[in-house]
Amino acid sequence: MDTYGILAFPAHHSLSPVMHNAGFKALGIKASYDFFEISPEKLDDFFKTVRDKKIKGLSVSGPYKQAVIPFLDSVDIVGKKIGAVNTIYWDKGSLIGTNVDWIGVEKSLLEKTQIENKSVVILGAGGAARSAIYALHKNDAWPITILNRTLSRAKALAEEFNCEYGELDDFESYSPKIVIQATSAGLNRREGVEIVPKELLESNMVIMEMIYNPIETRIVRDAREVGATVITGERMLLHQGVAAFELWTSQKAPFSIMEEAINKNLR
């Protein structure tokens, strides 16, 4: 029986286990995908276990997308460019880090809109925003603006990736075709947190939310009310999960089964 899992702290809110276990079962793969909720002081010991027991693959979430890098044999070119690892796999005895979050961003957007030459505002300047910028550059979105609560982080990211930047309050100066909500504000908070006032959202915008817990965040509710095109956070989870599954198993992922497993468990 092979072991995979999600490494995060906390990890219990993740829907990756239901998604991947449904995929393994459907293909008759003898594997289990577990929660590895590991506190920072236990990370070192955890990676000894990964190597001793040859844990076959890991998804990585907050706060470890950069912290795992010293424990790996190498990080591939995509992981290096994005500057964060969200998937770990073995290749010829070496433990490798990569990042497939950008695939989640790209495919979720392409389900609803073209990306090329579209103006985009990204809310947030953390690891998830970095994967969004990578996907947007690959698909020739332009211009890309990063708005963040902490201006210095938006500026640093904008300089690294050649984007525009500002504070969240600057949103009213832009009228982007695509808005990507990549902050963690409102995560696990059903009452929601307002990042952009509803009056500034327009019906011709495509608004993508990355948070899937809860599924109806404040910006998702507001975007629906103004008649915008909405992409909810579980689409990114699904598409990046399918990419990781295929990397680990070298088999075509059972997309609809993994999709159904997520959708049945949304709150």
The set of catalytic residues is: 65
Listed in sequence order, the residues at least 6 apart from 128 whose beta carbon sits closer than 8 Å to its beta carbon are 101, 182, 210
Q: What share of the chain is helix, strand, coil (3-state, %, to 5)?
A: 40, 20, 40
Q: Which residues pair with 7 in a beta bridge?
A: 36, 60
Residues 171-190 that bind ligand NDP (CB under 6 A): 182-185, 187
Q: How many degrees, rounded to 5, is the angle at CA 210 between CA 144 and CA 151?
A: 50
In the shown chain, the binding pattern of residues 208 to 247 toward ligand NDP, with x for contact by CB under 6 A and - for none, equals --xxx--------------------x--xx--x-------
Q: Which two tokens stand for residue 46?
A: 């955890």
Does 127 help bind ligand NDP (rule: CB under 6 A)?
A: yes
In the shown chain, the binding pattern of residues 144 to 163 toward ligand NDP, with x for contact by CB under 6 A and - for none, equals ----xxx--x----------
**Nearer residue to ligand NDP within complex by CB, 49 or 107:** 107
Residues 26-55 that bind ligand NDP (CB under 6 A): none
Does 98 help bind ligand NDP (rule: CB under 6 A)?
A: no
Residue whose C-alpha is closest to residue 29's, from 245, 219, 177, 259 = 245
**Nearer residue to ligand NDP within complex by CB, 66 or 251:** 66
3-state secondary structure of 213: coil
The count of residues interacting with ligand NDP (CB under 6 A) is: 26
Task: Give the shortest CB-92-to-ligand NDP separation in angstroms.
Answer: 28
The CA distance from 107 to 117, in Å, is 17
| Residues forming the site for ligand NDP (CB under 6 A) | 62, 101, 104, 124-129, 148-150, 153, 182-185, 187, 193, 210-212, 233, 236-237, 240
